[in-house]
Amino acid sequence: MAVSVIAVVALAATVLGATIVPSRNDPLEFSTCGRVWVTVHSPEIKQTRQPDLIDALEVNWDFSSCSSIPKNIAIFKSRPLAWKDAEWFHSINTPQGYILTDVTLGEGALPGGWLTGPGLKGPHCLWPWVAAGDDEIQAYNCLKIQPTWMEDHTDKIGHLRIGELAIAGTHNAGAWRFNTEISNLARDSFVLCQDRSVWAQLVHGIRYLDFRIAYYEFYQNVDDRYWLNHNLVRVRPLVPLLREIRIFLDTTKEIVFLDAHHFPMGFYDQTGAPLQHVHAGLLEIIQRELGPHLAFANDFATGVGTKGPTVQTLLDADKRLVFSYVDNSVVNQNNWLWPVLPHLWANTNNPTQLFEYLDQAIANSPQPNARSPLHSAMAQTTPTILDIVFLRGSLRQNADAVNRNVTARLATKWRQQANIVSTDFFLGDDVIDLSIAINVERGSRL
């Protein structure tokens, strides 16, 4: 799809001057029909004679189920009340779509007191709001954090089993910024999958973290040997990331799903046999850092082919970390570990094939004999070796090519059956807010 950068339009709509009266219990998202939402463009935009534009805002709309399409869409700095207050304004004439703007998110600091520690409960808006309508504003929304969404909705979703939830996840959650002796690059073409810290991911509403853990024996201190990698590239040390998760679990009532999904280095000998002391060392660190929050599988799992404990069961026990482990031989020796969490992974660099695969895979999940109550749709393309060698594209461009479609699929085809949906550069999709809405829907149906 051709993407155009639309210049800021001088605000011709001032004359419309329409206002809406906000209700007393002001929701952050409002609509009479259809939806608007804000996303963040993952690739940087090259500009002539100006620095690259980073974190450009995208405005998205879907009024395909409505009798009429609004004519205007605009970005606001605060709750949209009148068109004349807009920062950026554009007209639209299709039932659904998006516009890439040249307005940047800027720092994107976490609001509500959540910058580095716990803040106020409930959703909070970052600055960008979007509104659509004709004379009147008909729908609005904002880019938000959802730090306590499970607690906010416990009365509606508490009786859902964890395998019945829709959960926003991050693929390769640790690959968000280098922290090594050799590199502190913030933006890399083929290694970094995220650009928000693990803390920020959790505060935004991500509840599933896919970790790729590697072991480097040459460090003196055992803690220093465990790293989060992207394949063979060392990105960040593990322990500080576990501490971010710990603070989040200590200060909220949210459930977090942590998945040790791949051990690219140092966990196996040449014959492929697990190195027991390396696995044991990792499990010790997990127990030490997250122990009080661990929901042991032997206490809570509900058996093969079932959907696991309910949200309420985990909350009542105050055991809110579900830790799954990719090696079943290790799981068999440590029955507190949750078994291999199936990844629905297309292993393709082609978006069309990715969606064909995921449509099928989600419809056929969970498998009747699945050991894990959970499954994760890996909603990102995978570059080939040749893509990387010839620097064809980047993970940011790849994410941009699929993330909007992931949002659209989750709202439609995947709505009934999706469990975890993991993406790269998650601010480019709306999986968090959509999952929350889907959970409330599923909760009211059961």
Ligand X SMILES: *[C@@H]1O[C@H](CO)[C@@H](O)[C@H](O)[C@H]1NC(C)=O
Q: Which residues bind ligand X (CB under 6 A)?
A: 1, 351-352, 355, 405
| Cβ 267 to ligand X shortest distance, Å | 35
| Cβ 407 to ligand X shortest distance, Å | 10
Our CB check for ligand X shows the closer of 2 and 232 to be 2
Contact in structure between 432 and 426 (CB atoms under 8 Å): yes
Our CB check for ligand X shows the closer of 323 and 355 to be 355
Our CB check for ligand X shows the closer of 1 and 182 to be 1
| Cβ 348 to ligand X shortest distance, Å | 11
Could you identify the residue written with the tokens 């219990």? 25
Distance, in Å, from the CA atom of 230 to the CA atom of 65, rounded to the nearest integer, reads 41
Contact in structure between 75 and 88 (CB atoms under 8 Å): yes
> Angle CA(164)–CA(170)–CA(171) in degrees, nearest 5?
110
| Cβ 415 to ligand X shortest distance, Å | 16
Our CB check for ligand X shows the closer of 118 and 351 to be 351
Our CB check for ligand X shows the closer of 1 and 232 to be 1
Question: Which of 249, 283, 244, 243 minimizes the C-alpha distance to 263?
Answer: 283
3-state SS, residue 339: coil
| Cβ 93 to ligand X shortest distance, Å | 16
Our CB check for ligand X shows the closer of 287 and 349 to be 349
DSSP H helical segments within 291-367, as ranges? 297-300, 311-317, 328-333, 351-363
| Cβ 354 to ligand X shortest distance, Å | 7
| Cβ 356 to ligand X shortest distance, Å | 9
Bond from prior residue into 366 cis (ω within 30 degrees of 0): yes
Distance, in Å, from the CA atom of 248 to the CA atom of 244, rounded to the nearest integer, reads 6
The secondary structure of residue 10, as a DSSP letter, is: P
Our CB check for ligand X shows the closer of 1 and 10 to be 1
H or E stretch covering 431: helix 431-445
Distance, in Å, from the CA atom of 400 to the CA atom of 360, rounded to the nearest integer, reads 22
DSSP H helical segments within 106-168, as ranges? 149-152, 154-157
Question: Which of 434, 443, 389 minimizes the C-alpha distance to 168?
Answer: 434
> Angle CA(418)–CA(354)–CA(198) in degrees, nearest 5?
60
Our CB check for ligand X shows the closer of 215 and 355 to be 355
Centroid of chain to Cα 441:
20
Our CB check for ligand X shows the closer of 235 and 354 to be 354
Question: Which of 356, 341, 349 minimizes the C-alpha distance to 422?
Answer: 341
| Cβ 351 to ligand X shortest distance, Å | 4
| Cβ 422 to ligand X shortest distance, Å | 18
